[in-house]
A = this chain, B = another copy of it.
């Protein structure tokens, strides 16, 4: 049975903290005008790894923690990842004789700035929740028209890496081509159907050579860790542009990830069986060992007046394909995967209305507005609305959490601002 590790950092022992000693998620932080550098979260503090490195407390590890991203560390590979966890766990464990030396490297999380924890090499998004796929078909076209390939192929598309931003970054409402209802020609307008998509992301930490596929077990081990991911979507732009080559500008304006990469090893106890499949998987995708995780995922919508409505509660375990399966499929044609690649699971939904992971499903494409705690209704996101994603794997007396992945919609540029 998973066992909680007790730390001399008191707040890490709170059963409700997302960041117990068992977690140690990877972030990048700064205060004021300081240079961003690597840290891990522990309770309500972050541990400044650059300072520990300077103090000589990280002997046996590469000197990469002054970097403003985890890419250099990730590139060191799984043995170094495991050694890192052993060393840092040893420093923070209750009774460790180094408390006095390590304490100066603890910084209260409140008030510091968290940056994008990785340089995103490339970004790929998938489409693997059966409930999401069926609901989207029904809400958009009135048809439960799951494509015949869906139960066999981890369906995905390449996304845009340059617009992946960290939690807390404002999301500007994009302009684009939109076909008004009943019209034959599109207009150029700001999106009126802004949506979020609640996803889990995987960060690739091991590259494969171009031309050399990997098997599922290898793919699983290539994943450095997992993040919360919000695949912002402009549904009106998407509806008009997506035939026949799929989503493009409706997604490429922004994708938000959480500030914390939860290392794969920290989620080892959360592994769980995959859902029943409707058809046998091809052998390269067959999951003989579990690659799914039991991770509870939540979305809150916060209106400009501060009212918080929990609008989604779902679980990553329901996904038809895991991120490891998606990564294996991504490389099966010999595609070169790189350190820093980001894969999105696809919207995580579930069988009940409260499990729906985006407003397209929650409001049935705007047909049934969602009541919020402040008495207002939402079809799609309005300017000033904030979406907060959170998630954790729950054990008896602790949880492995991801923190918060947050973004606020800001008004579209006016035409004169665009000039």
- A185 interfacial contact with B, CB 8 Å: yes
Number of chain A residues close to chain B: CB under 8 A: 65
Please name the residue on chain B nearest to A169 by beta carbon: B210
Closest beta carbon of chain B to A365's beta carbon, Å: 16
Residue from B121, B184, B245, B336 within 8 A of A157 (CB atoms): B245
Q: What is the CA–CA distance of A332 and B339 in the complex, to the nearest angstrom?
A: 29
Decide: B159 and A241 in contact? CB cutoff 8 A.
no
Q: What chain B residues lie within 8 Å of A213 (beta carbons)? A: 175, 413, 418
Binary interface encoding of chain A residues 143-180 relative to chain B, with 1 for a CB under 8 A from any of its CBs, else 0: 00001110011011111111101000000101111010
Q: What is the CA–CA distance of A376 and B122 in the complex, to the nearest angstrom?
A: 41
If A122-B122, A149-B240, A153-B186 touch, does A249 touch B335 (CB 8 Å cutoff)?
yes
- A338 interfacial contact with B, CB 8 Å: yes
Please name the residue on chain B nearest to A170 by beta carbon: B211
Binary interface encoding of chain A residues 234-254 relative to chain B, with 1 for a CB under 8 A from any of its CBs, else 0: 100100111111111110111
Given A122-B162, A162-B336, A242-B244; 16 other pairs, CB 8 A cutoff = A121-B162, A149-B177, A153-B240, A153-B241, A155-B241, A157-B157, A158-B159, A158-B160, A158-B252, A162-B338, A175-B334, A246-B246, A246-B247, A249-B330, A249-B333, A253-B333
Decide: A157 and B158 in contact? CB cutoff 8 A.
yes
- A337 interfacial contact with B, CB 8 Å: yes
Q: What chain B residues lie within 8 Å of A210 (beta carbons)? A: 162-163, 165, 254
Decide: A284 and B188 in contact? CB cutoff 8 A.
yes
Q: What is the CA–CA distance of A337 and B249 in the complex, to the nearest angstrom?
A: 13
Decide: B153 and A333 in contact? CB cutoff 8 A.
no
Please name the residue on chain B nearest to A147 by beta carbon: B243
- A110 interfacial contact with B, CB 8 Å: no
